[in-house]
Amino acid sequence: MTSLPHLADIGVERLNGVGSKNQDALASMGIENVLDLVTHYPRRYLDRTSQAAIADLVDGQEAMVLATVRKTAGRRTRQGRSLVEIDLFDGSSYLRATFFNQPWRAKQLPEGTQAILFGKVDRFRGRRQMTNPVVDLVGDRTGRIIPVYPQSEKAGLMTWQIGGWVAESLRRAQRFDDPLPQEWRDRLDLVGRDWAMHQIHEPDSIAASKKARQRLAFDELLRLQVILVMRKRAVEQDAVGIRHQADGPLVGRFRDGLPFALTAAQAAAIAEIATDMSGPHPMHRLLQGDVGSGKTVVAVAALLTAVEGGHQGALMAPTEVLAEQHHAAVSSLLSGLTVPSEQTLLSDRPLRVALLTNRTGAAERARLQAALIDGTVDILIGTHALLTEKVAFRSLGCVVIDEQHRFGVEQRATLREKGPGLVVPDVLVMTATPIPRTAAMTVYGDLDTTILGEMPPGRIPITTKWARGPLEEASVWDRVRSEVEAGRQAYVVCPLIEESERVQARSASEERDRLANAELSGLRVGLLHGQMPAKEKEAAMDSFRARDTDVLVATTVIEVGVDVPNATVMVVEDADRFGIAQLHQLRGRVGRGEHRSWCYLLGGGDGDGDTDAGQRLGALVRSTDGFELAEVDLELRGEGTILGTRQKGATDLKLASLRRDKELVATAREVAFDLVDRHPGLVGLPDLAQEIRYLVDEDDRDFLFKS
């Protein structure tokens, strides 16, 4: 019997036919040991019994054929480009493969070579051809189904060589342990690990390869979820939290003082959070809600629940502008609220909200630090400046982290450690825009989740237009002018120039001057960007809030938090440079009041809508639902960007995809909860425990497996 970690101890050089040259080639593909090798899964399979014959290929369709090279010719085109033309024959007909700018193909594919070609078939001068197809050298492989391994060609290896080493590794491994209890295997109708490991490499049929994939993808997701669930349980069970009072008078007064009634979703979220916070263990909850769904009110209720019992709250935002915005918003939501004063026992004092960022001056910082320690600051709002060692609280009871994907797990942990003594404060993480459910389960899998799935009533959906070409752009500026005439305001967002000159975006200040003298002449045009001194930024925002500015030309610093209900037009220049989430967030700056609003996306006009940028902009025009857009985003960008390497075990995802395997992610999470809760510390599941230990680093190992 063999476990996966055991295979990691066997270097590939111990396999037949792996000399130093092949060892280097394998290393260039990230394969150093036998575990790497057996988890280097085929990219696809060629089924010899049902493969397409060249004679049957249909023009315009993608196809895969196995054929033998009959003639190879290389030359240069009149423009000087290298052109390699290869004629292949499979017994039914001829196919020409044409390669541009890949002169090495002539050497790779000499006459007599057997190769698998994958690509789109078209016809050139009456003959079938593929242009720049994907090529795999199969060599002399027998067998009905041939696995095709990725990356082999770049490393100068043939797919059959890799297949041979994999086969040898499988023979050496003999039987693979199965870490999943039989009970779950039966319930989920999953094949065994050992069968799966063999069948994914040497399947008896294409159907068998699919079953094998299903099982091994599940295993990857299960390992990841087990780590997350163990982390979650470790934090919950070992940490002592503060038993806050749920639904106290302070929260009640706050709710009664709001100028609107809470939505049902907000009320439910606040209740759920109150239940967490009044429990013995610290809260670790994720609050997901679309732009404008009213997350701030929920966050403030959580902070007040801490303040209620004489503790403090902290709100951490990813940028200074956002921290400043939160400070302004929270201060105004809390204005007039009082808390019992310790000095004068009989009277109340105003609740105190303070701001701490890197811009806070030394003297003010010192004052603040003292006030945090003596407890006269109730709620502290700031950037990661909150994480510095010098910031200490008298009794930090609740932390809200406006995550925006920018803080890591470690930073969250640092704030958590700022609680009183060994007590861990309650933590609420907010996302600025929704992320798909499966991604949330993975990126935030150590947290509980609350979804604010409802918008405050009375919002008129924002009309979004993708303005392409000068005519349409002209109508955008007409709209800005007519809205300003009607007493409304507008934003114009232009991308910030990055250090590199290659980024061809125009700087915000140039654009402000240009617009003020052209399209927007006669209007009061303001400027806001991240490089401005804090005072100027505040002045610019104040002027806009006071309606002394009609149009605010800004960089993405206004992306989040800005809340001016009178603004009804959002113009995003070079919108094709932005991602879906960012555009949705920018659009969320309008449509916040009772007036009808518009969002105009400029740029990306050369595309026909089929480009990546075109698909992003098209999605925004079609939908205003952040959860729906998050799914599109995942579809377009893949999971890499969402997952990053932030999650332990994420790099273990070789087969599984958050995109394609949504149900499998949810199932793996369910199984992980079951296993971890029935077998704390994975005692009784030695095979699974061994795999998990292998995946996580030492710190995590101690944390997760402490007994």
**Beta strands in 497-566, from DSSP E residues, in sequence order:** 525-528, 551-554
Q: Judged by CB under 6 A, which of 456, 530, 605, 681 binds ligand ADP? A: 456
- Distance, CA of 173 to CA of 406 (rounded, Å): 42
Cβ(266)–Cβ(217) under 8 Å? no
Q: Judged by CB under 6 A, which of 181, 292, 434, 618 binds ligand ADP? A: 292
Report the partner that residue 277 touches, choosing among Mg ion, ligand ADP, none (CB closer than 5 to 8 A by kind): Mg ion
- Distance, CA of 163 to CA of 142 (rounded, Å): 12
Gyration radius (Cα) of the chain, Å: 30
Size of residue set near ligand ADP by CB under 6 A: 16
Report the run of H or E that residue 632 belongs to, with start and end.
helix 626-637
Nearer CB in complex with Mg ion: 290/426: 426
Report the partner that residue 291 touches, choosing among Mg ion, ligand ADP, none (CB closer than 5 to 8 A by kind): ligand ADP
Nearer CB in complex with Mg ion: 246/387: 246
Stretch of 4-12, 257-265, 350-358, 410-418 contacting ligand ADP, by CB under 6 A: 257-265
- Distance, CA of 188 to CA of 671 (rounded, Å): 10
Q: Judged by CB under 6 A, which of 114, 129, 159, 263 binds ligand ADP? A: 263
Min dist CB 447 to ligand ADP, Å, is 18
Enter the tokens of residue 392: 């200490």
Quick check: 453 binds ligand ADP (CB under 6 A)?
A: no
Nearer CB in complex with Mg ion: 277/675: 277
Quick check: 289 binds ligand ADP (CB under 6 A)?
A: yes
Report the partner that residue 297 touches, choosing among ligand ADP, Mg ion, none (CB closer than 5 to 8 A by kind): ligand ADP
Stretch of 104-112, 154-162, 262-270, 653-661 contacting ligand ADP, by CB under 6 A: 262-270
Quick check: 260 binds ligand ADP (CB under 6 A)?
A: yes
- Distance, CA of 98 to CA of 125 (rounded, Å): 13
SS3 403: coil
Give me the residue label for tokens 């595309």.
Answer: 607
Report the partner that residue 556 touches, choosing among Mg ion, ligand ADP, none (CB closer than 5 to 8 A by kind): none
Strands 312-316 and 379-382: parallel
Neighbour-count burial of 106, counting CB atoms closer than 10 A to its CB (0-12 exposed, 13-18 middle, 19+ buried): middle
Looking at the chain, the number of H-run helices and the number of E-run strands are 25, 23
Quick check: 288 binds ligand ADP (CB under 6 A)?
A: no
Cβ(268)–Cβ(411) under 8 Å? no
Question: CA quadruple 418, 424, 426, 430: dihedral positive or negative?
Answer: positive
Stretch of 160-168, 273-281, 285-293, 609-617 contacting ligand ADP, by CB under 6 A: 285-293
Stretch of 76-84, 284-292, 512-520, 541-549 contacting ligand ADP, by CB under 6 A: 284-292
Min dist CB 287 to ligand ADP, Å, is 9
Nearer CB in complex with Mg ion: 283/467: 283
Stretch of 158-166, 294-302, 342-350, 636-644 contacting ligand ADP, by CB under 6 A: 294-302
Quick check: 326 binds ligand ADP (CB under 6 A)?
A: no
Cβ(431)–Cβ(403) under 8 Å? yes
Q: Which residue is nearest to Mg ion (CB)?
A: 241
Min dist CB 381 to ligand ADP, Å, is 14
- Distance, CA of 228 to CA of 230 (rounded, Å): 5
Nearer CB in complex with ligand ADP: 209/325: 325
Min dist CB 426 to Mg ion, Å, is 5
Neighbour-count burial of 238, counting CB atoms closer than 10 A to its CB (0-12 exposed, 13-18 middle, 19+ buried): exposed
CA-wise closest residue to 247 among 208, 222, 273: 273
Binders of ligand ADP in range 478-517 (CB under 6 A): none
Q: Judged by CB under 6 A, which of 244, 295, 488, 529 binds ligand ADP? A: 295
CA-wise closest residue to 42 among 109, 141, 182, 136: 136
Min dist CB 703 to Mg ion, Å, is 21
Stretch of 291-299, 487-495, 610-618, 659-667 contacting ligand ADP, by CB under 6 A: 291-299
Question: CA quadruple 154, 159, 164, 166: dihedral positive or negative?
Answer: positive
Quick check: 468 binds ligand ADP (CB under 6 A)?
A: no
Q: Judged by CB under 6 A, which of 10, 191, 262, 539 binds ligand ADP? A: 262
Nearer CB in complex with ligand ADP: 454/674: 454
Q: Judged by CB under 6 A, which of 161, 296, 312, 464 binds ligand ADP? A: 296
Q: Residue 119's CB: how many other CB atoms inside 10 A?
A: 19
Quick check: 257 binds ligand ADP (CB under 6 A)?
A: no
For residue 165, what are the contacts with CB-CB under 8 A and spacing of at least 6? 12, 15, 16, 17, 18, 37
Q: Which residue is nearest to ligand ADP (CB)?
A: 294
Nearer CB in complex with ligand ADP: 294/436: 294
- Distance, CA of 344 to CA of 485 (rounded, Å): 53
Min dist CB 648 to ligand ADP, Å, is 30
- Distance, CA of 160 to CA of 138 (rounded, Å): 5
Min dist CB 308 to Mg ion, Å, is 12
Min dist CB 600 to Mg ion, Å, is 46
> Residues interacting with Mg ion, by CB under 5 A?
241, 277, 426
Report the partner that residue 113 touches, choosing among Mg ion, ligand ADP, none (CB closer than 5 to 8 A by kind): none
Min dist CB 456 to Mg ion, Å, is 28
Binders of ligand ADP in range 574-603 (CB under 6 A): 588, 592
Strands 134-137 and 114-124: antiparallel
Q: Kindly report the CA angle at 126 between 120 and 128, in degrees rounded to 5? A: 30
Nearer CB in complex with ligand ADP: 293/357: 293
Phi, psi of 141 (to 5 degrees): -100, 135
Quick check: 563 binds ligand ADP (CB under 6 A)?
A: yes
Min dist CB 326 to Mg ion, Å, is 23
CA-wise closest residue to 145 among 211, 212, 202, 200: 202
> Which residues lie across from 448 on neighbouring strands?
285
Q: Residue 707's CB: how many other CB atoms inside 10 A?
A: 5
- Which residues of this chain interact with ligand ADP, rule CB under 6 A? 260, 262-263, 266, 289, 291-297, 456, 563, 588, 592
